[in-house]
Structure 1
């Protein structure tokens, strides 16, 4: 089945390896007709991506991905069709990005303390935009400490590794509300990866009450059985099933750009809901203090 939709991608504006323009060029080469850019905590790549999409005839959706934590695990929240230029929205994103910088600096410090000689300045050069662990992984690869990006995570900077540093944590409901404050549409990302099906069931009522409208059902390595389970949940809670590759660049995730089939009806349903919200005044939102590490 030919795929023409990818609603989960990243660029150098956060922790992807390709610029927004190059990402769109690769999307065009892969035969994609609709693409959403969903960088972590950043909308800095959207204007460049929109311009490239226009030149290439790709239907472009401005998006974002926010990382959050709750009892039972971690959950990521995607936002689509954002009115991303709203000053209050951008101020909160800056707070989250600044926390990413502090986290990245501390990771590099810990690596240096262990005799791993990479520099923070070089990591920032690699990042170009919002810094993330993939940029530190790339610095480790360039310096010859690892043979792949995956090995860098497994050995040095992954969750249970010696240089891991927790991030600034917000609750998933707050991420949903933040996206709503920019008139965006909130969707739970890779729900079987984090937190898992049973934990997800306990979270869905609260997330839906906060304003969540979708569930990423067609994702990367998910099996047909996984899809069926998520489609059942989406139907039960009247959520829009969405999907994408979670593409960051070669060697970071196993699914290539456009490598996961996403039904075009996902885009149609998101667009219909977005049309209903156009011109409405979104709710205000203030970022609460970060969730304390337990």
Structure 2
């Protein structure tokens, strides 16, 4: 029997990815992915298209979203999986998040203008199918030759502490978890080792996430060292969290690929043990 390949964290043009939902699903099929979650930033607008493509490709699609939150003046991402995408509380939260993102984008555009880069908001908007994100500004800065690559755009202009960074005002983690649960889903702490904080702060974040009702933690991602994966596995067990896997794919590149090296250590309970019932209940 062929082992299922899961990827429960991916992005499309519905947020800051570069592939359409259909193209993303097609790439997942090429990578032999069996179960896929489309988890666009604060948006479920790509799920209908992705579901049609997944049915044709023989992939099981899980409703997903990556909710932006704030914790101790840091941006933290919470992935929701297996929810009812039409639930009124989830819809209301995502509408509020969209308003926050739009206002932030306008302010980033103004800050870029002040440092000598006019019309950045309009330029970024032309690159976005949905809400304008910092990634779209980064791509615009590359396009006009202001920086060599997107990483440089963040390092020079867009990252926290840089001249064009704008504090967001995202939802709190407890609100994100509660809303995901109200919509019938599971809440997962995304890519914990990507946040620039010490292990002591990370343990505090994970502990509070669990106390607030969080369900899982991303243990497996692309480009990890074995030590990093084992550390996350140990924390998953210590705090009683299910283990999730996700590439956090945004665009084709050499080091991040859909479904690549996404396996859990044997001692971790997979989040899909809980998701299976939700998959059966919410197939549409």
TM norm structure 2: 0.89
Bigger mean CA deviation after superposition, 175-184 or 229-238: 229-238
1:271 aligns with 2:272: no
Preserved contact between residue 120 and residue 137 of structure 2 (Cα < 8 Å): no
**CA deviation digits over 1:226-249, x for unaligned, max 9?**
111211121123211111111111
1:149 aligns with 150
Bigger mean CA deviation after superposition, 25-34 or 266-275: 266-275
1:284 aligns with none
1:140 aligns with 141
Q: Distance in 1 between matches of 2:162 and 2:255?
A: 21
Q: Distance in 2 between matches of 1:214 and 1:12?
A: 26
Paired residues in the alignment total 276
TM norm structure 1: 0.86
Describe the shift of the 1:27–1:239 C-alpha distance in structure 2 as closer, same or farther (beyond 3 A): same
Aligned-CA RMSD value: 2.4
Preserved contact between residue 222 and residue 247 of structure 2 (Cα < 8 Å): yes
Bigger mean CA deviation after superposition, 259-268 or 234-243: 259-268
Q: Distance in 2 between matches of 1:74 and 1:209?
A: 19
1:25 aligns with 26
1:191 aligns with 192
**Which runs of no fewer than 5 residues in structure 1 stay unpaired?**
280-294
1:212 aligns with 214
Q: Distance in 1 between matches of 2:228 and 2:135?
A: 27
Q: How far is 1:6 from its partner?
A: 1.2
Preserved contact between residue 118 and residue 143 of structure 1 (Cα < 8 Å): no
Bigger mean CA deviation after superposition, 152-161 or 69-78: 69-78
Q: Distance in 1 between matches of 2:160 and 2:176?
A: 22
**CA deviation digits over 1:192-244, x for unaligned, max 9?**
22255322322334322322111100023322111112111211232111111
Give secondary structure in 1 for the equivalent of 2:41.
coil
Preserved contact between residue 7 and residue 37 of structure 1 (Cα < 8 Å): yes
Q: How far is 1:88 from its partner?
A: 2.6
2:92 aligns with 91
Bigger mean CA deviation after superposition, 240-249 or 169-178: 169-178
**CA deviation digits over 1:45-81, x for unaligned, max 9?**
1111111111111111111111222227442111100
1:109 aligns with 110
Give secondary structure in 1 for the equivalent of 2:243.
strand
2:61 aligns with 60
Preserved contact between residue 220 and residue 262 of structure 2 (Cα < 8 Å): yes
Q: Distance in 1 between matches of 2:250 and 2:279?
A: 29
1:75 aligns with 2:76: yes
Preserved contact between residue 242 and residue 262 of structure 1 (Cα < 8 Å): no
Moved over 4 A (4+): none
Q: How far is 1:275 from its partner?
A: 6.6
